[in-house]
Amino acid sequence: MMIMKAAFIRKYGGPEVIEFDNVEDPQIDANSVLVRVKAASVNSLDAVVRVGGYKQFVKKFPHILGVDFSGTIEKVGEKVNTVTEGQRVIGFPILHDNSCEYCKEGYENLCKSFGVIGRDINGSYAELISIPKENVIPFDWDYIQASTIQLSLLTAWHALAKRVQLREGMNIFIWGGSGGVGTFAIQIAKLFKANVITATSEEWKAKKLKEIGADLVINYKEQDVLSKVMDFTNGRGVDVVIDSLGPDTLNTSIKITRKGGDIIVLGVGIKESDLTPINLRNLYIKYIRVHGTVIGTKKDLKQVIDLVKEGKIKPVIDSVFSLKDVREAHKKLEKGERVGKIVLAIN
């Protein structure tokens, strides 16, 4: 029996429940691959798994956290001919059956057997990960950068390019602009020549968000979000809101959206509960469309790999930790003391 280092949980709770220790090497079957992980970025999803927000999906303890990764193929199952040993790959986060009506239409993110790496199976905070062959895509650039794009960039791209077709001159408000999805969403919106408004409570973050491309950064602790948005849009409201915080922000999102505008809900923050009261009268009188969206498709991931390779989108790396310091990385994530992605460097 071979052993590897991994970061896992044996109970739910704060960053302190994450353990870093030896576990057995994962096994592969005929249709899966073993990847030697080089880098794994930290996502809010990992923290939601950790606090117990996905109890119904976590099958057993110890459970290894982590959805995003980049690495090299260590070993392939006997029926795998799509990738070869030594090849550089990143993960496609969604477990899917490739056969249901949604998969056949190319919407793996709606698969009837939908699952997520690091939630339904052991994740990437480890020296090795075993996953289905459908869940790796070759790439040929930097491991640290590549580990940041799967969940965050894929989600932002699918939301802005597929759920709403963002166009030149549109106004968009992005909650959580300094997060992983947020820093990518700002860049995608600028790529489509939209005007970007975001909000933060700290000056150092506001400065970085402007560097990334935000046209207006509102200090939501000192300024009134609604009146600042109305000033910027000549009293009209924004065309699109990206809301990744949900319970705390959805009613403000409804207020700042123009009549007939779109709100994209793609997360609820790091919480165990996702319930919130919303003002339905405001919603229907303003003729607003609310879109749910989840991650993205494999085709989208191939597109964003090219966008990063061509330099059109640049991952914003906040910090890099070694795997043994995973608790510190999660504390940083939870306190929101970051702009962009937090990465765990592994092998």
Question: H or E stretch including 73?
Answer: strand 70-76
Spatial contact of 44 and 179, defined as CB atoms under 8 Å apart: yes
Residue with smaller CB distance to Zn ion, 134 or 243: 134
Among the candidate windows 99-107, 116-124, 157-165, 182-190, which touches Zn ion by CB under 5 A? 99-107
Spatial contact of 129 and 37, defined as CB atoms under 8 Å apart: yes
Residue with smaller CB distance to Zn ion, 97 or 334: 97
Question: H or E stretch including 185?
Answer: helix 180-191
Question: H or E stretch including 261?
Answer: strand 257-265
Residues of this chain, 105-134, that bind Zn ion according to CB under 5 A: 111
Instruction: Tell me the helix, strand and coil percentages in the chain, rounded to 5.
Output: 30, 30, 40
Q: Is 100 in the site for Zn ion (CB under 5 A)?
A: yes
Residues 6+ apart with CB under 8 A from 135: 91, 92, 93, 94, 95, 117
Q: Is 94 in the site for Zn ion (CB under 5 A)?
A: no
Name which position in 83, 103, 174, 304 contacts Zn ion (CB under 5 A). Answer: 103
Residue with smaller CB distance to Zn ion, 96 or 133: 96
User: Minimal distance in Å, beta carbon 300 to Zn ion?
Assistant: 16
User: Minimal distance in Å, beta carbon 252 to Zn ion?
Assistant: 36
Q: Is 25 in the site for Zn ion (CB under 5 A)?
A: no
Residue with smaller CB distance to Zn ion, 100 or 320: 100
Residue-level length of the chain: 347
Name which position in 19, 25, 97, 142 contacts Zn ion (CB under 5 A). Answer: 97
132: preceding bond cis by omega (within 30 degrees):
no
Among the candidate windows 31-39, 89-97, 174-182, 277-285, which touches Zn ion by CB under 5 A? 89-97
3-state secondary structure of 239: strand
- Counting residues that bind Zn ion (by CB under 5 A) gives 5
Residue with smaller CB distance to Zn ion, 36 or 298: 298
Residues of this chain, 46-75, that bind Zn ion according to CB under 5 A: none
Residue with smaller CB distance to Zn ion, 135 or 253: 135
User: Minimal distance in Å, beta carbon 76 to Zn ion?
Assistant: 23
Q: List residues binding Zn ion (CB under 5 A).
A: 96-97, 100, 103, 111
